[in-house]
Structure 1
Amino acid sequence: MLKGTAEFLALNPGQTLQPTEFSFVRFKEGTYCAIFTFSQQPKVAPVPAEREFIIDCRSIAALSPLSTPS
């Protein structure tokens, strides 16, 4: 969830308002940035594409862990 918002970030515009599920990759050396990956369903191909999302950590208000299947 980004600062100043009430909902978790959704990067699939035009689809459902489901929050995007990110995987943390690493912190970017020498900056306040964090790198995450997420899958995005392309409009044409049936296979989701892996995307990278870089954000200034100071813009993040909350993170919510996902439960992992056992």
Structure 2
Amino acid sequence: MARKILINASEPEEVRVAVVKEGVLVDFFVELPFHRSILGNIYKGRVTHVEGGLQAAFVDFGEKREGFLPFREI
């Protein structure tokens, strides 16, 4: 399956991202400067604890920010 990610960031006020799989639009995102989301972003972190019972890991992102990463997301 051919998948393409198309990004339009020519205007500083708005970033648009489209995900196209085999010529079909499967996802579309718009990010506006006044409404920034952290969901779906990529971060660098350090795994601090793995909890097998929860099937997840706890991650330290620095700057006093911690996260929860389910195994199914890896």
After TM superposition, the score normalised by the length of structure 2 is 0.39
Higher percent of residues as strand:
2
Compare CA radii of gyration and give the structure with the larger one. 2
Higher RCO (CA < 8 A, seq sep 6+): 1
TM-score using structure 1 length? 0.41
